[in-house]
């Protein structure tokens, strides 16, 4: 499955079942391909099927949890007028929506795909295409939303006057909707139009995730340094307790964004290591070739449950709202 992109917009995930551009694609005829024939797995290494079953189990357990916790975060923001009118929390809800889709759509498709390969189903190609295109959309949406969140924090911290006069929840909603539509249309069409060579297929991802990565890293680094400096100044200033708490809460939101970016990098590390080793070493042995992609895509899926956990732990408004709704459900 070529050309599936990462969570949080920092790196493309190319060749789902092809670790390097030098590997030979099988003769299995499908617009989006494996590097082995999924209709013939009679000679798999002994460790492959147990690994696939373990990956299925992890996704089966985490998929409903991902849907639940992201739904609680969205519910908390949408139901609370104060949070819904706050630009930052509105973007958190939008980011949670893309994470919710991972648990609701991508993980079930991934589970079905692995089961289908193990049981030699006849509709493997359809599942490959459905999973890949869904992942392209969701991870592309996550990337552009992360860019918008980073820019929102950048303008809030670095240009507060411009932020107060020009940045509104309505404008952010329009920007998010427009970017989601643009990513959705361009990614799907470009993916089918660029299926000749490995490096040509990487071009759409480079064009989207390259600038996104630069913008996110620049904004997060800049606002993190500024926020820490301003927090130290607030402690030394003679201000009311309420004002100090309000500013500190805003800086916590900024630091939360930094944690989300770090979580994204951590989830991408297995993929990056495999890509680098594959580029240097060439073809992997069969055990790694058949199992590595399933493992690191599962790690990418897990980021969609890590993100709302970070929100809930770091943001008191989200934490209180999620806890309140869990208590209501128990009653």
pLDDT digits (tens, 9 = 90+) for 148-165: 999 998 998 888 899 888
89 pLDDT above the threshold of 80: yes
pLDDT attached to residue 213: 82
- How large is the average pLDDT for residues 60-66? 96
Per-residue model confidence as pLDDT tens digits over 194-241: 555 555 555 666 676 778 888 888 988 888 888 778 777 766 665 555
The answer as to whether 13 is a domain residue is no
pLDDT attached to residue 278: 62
The answer as to whether 29 is a domain residue is no
pLDDT attached to residue 132: 83
Identify the CATH number of the domain in which residue 177 sits.
Answer: 1.20.1070.10
What is d(CA 137, CA 191) in angstroms, rounded to the nearest whole number? 11
- How large is the average pLDDT for residues 18-46? 57
- Which helix (H) or strand (E) segment holds residue 301: the answer is helix 286-314
pTM of the model: 0.78
Residue 32 near residue 20 (C-beta atoms within 8 A): no
The answer as to whether 37 is a domain residue is no
Q: How confident is the model at residue 54 (pLDDT cuts 50, 70, 90)?
A: very high
Q: How confident is the model at residue 29 (pLDDT cuts 50, 70, 90)?
A: low
297 pLDDT above the threshold of 90: no
141 pLDDT above the threshold of 60: yes
User: Between these two residues, 314 and 112, which has the higher pLDDT value?
Assistant: 112
DSSP state of 12: E
- How large is the average pLDDT for residues 41-52? 80
Nearest to 12 by CA among 95, 136, 110: 136
The answer as to whether 207 is a domain residue is yes
Residue 5 near residue 205 (C-beta atoms within 8 A): yes
Task: Indicate the average pLDDT of the chain.
Answer: 78
Show the domain range for 55. Answer: 47-329
The answer as to whether 27 is a domain residue is no
The answer as to whether 22 is a domain residue is no
Q: How confident is the model at residue 242 (pLDDT cuts 50, 70, 90)?
A: low
- How large is the average pLDDT for residues 58-62? 96
Q: Note the Cα 194 to chain centre separation in Å.
A: 23
What Cα–Cα distance (Å) separates residue 228 from each residue in 158, 225, 314?
13, 5, 16
Q: How many domains does the chain have?
A: 1
Q: How confident is the model at residue 100 (pLDDT cuts 50, 70, 90)?
A: very high
The answer as to whether 88 is a domain residue is yes
The answer as to whether 159 is a domain residue is yes
């Amino acid at each position: 499955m070529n050309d599936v992109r990462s969570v949080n917009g920092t790196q493309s995930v190319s060749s789902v079942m092809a670790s390097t551009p030098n590997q030979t694609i099988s003769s299995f005829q499908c617009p989006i391909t494996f590097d082995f024939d999924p209709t013939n797995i009679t000679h798999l290494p002994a460790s492959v099927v147990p690994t696939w079953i373990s990956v299925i189990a992890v996704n089966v357990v985490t998929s409903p949890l991902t849907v639940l916790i992201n739904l609680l975060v969205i519910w908390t923001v949408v139901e609370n007028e104060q949070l819904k009118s706050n630009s930052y929390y509105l973007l958190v809800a939008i980011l949670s929506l893309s994470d919710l889709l991972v648990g609701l759509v991508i993980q079930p498709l991934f589970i079905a795909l692995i089961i289908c390969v193990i049981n030699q189903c006849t509709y493997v190609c359809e599942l490959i295409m459905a999973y890949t295109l869904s992942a392209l959309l969701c991870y592309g949406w996550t990337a552009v939303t992360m860019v918008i969140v980073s820019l929102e924090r950048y303008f809030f911290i670095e240009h507060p006057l411009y932020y107060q006069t020009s940045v509104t929840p309505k404008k952010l909603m329009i920007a998010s909707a427009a970017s989601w539509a643009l990513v959705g249309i361009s990614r799907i069409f470009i993916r089918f139009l660029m299926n000749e060579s490995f490096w040509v297929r990487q071009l759409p991802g480079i064009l989207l995730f390259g600038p996104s990565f630069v913008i996110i890293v620049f904004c997060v680094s800049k606002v993190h340094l500024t926020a820490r400096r301003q927090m130290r100044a607030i402690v030394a200033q003679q201000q009311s307790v309420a004002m100090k708490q309000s500013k500190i809460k805003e800086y916590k939101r900024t630091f939360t964004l930094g944690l989300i970016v770090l979580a994204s990098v951590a989830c991408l590390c297995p993929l990056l290591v495999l890509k680098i080793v594959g580029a240097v070493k060439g073809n992997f042995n069969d055990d790694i070739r058949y199992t590595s992609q399933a493992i690191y895509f599962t790690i990418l899926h897990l980021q969609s449950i890590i993100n709302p956990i970070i929100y809930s732990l770091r943001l008191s408004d989200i934490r209180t709202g999620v806890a309140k709704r869990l208590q209501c459900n128990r009653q």
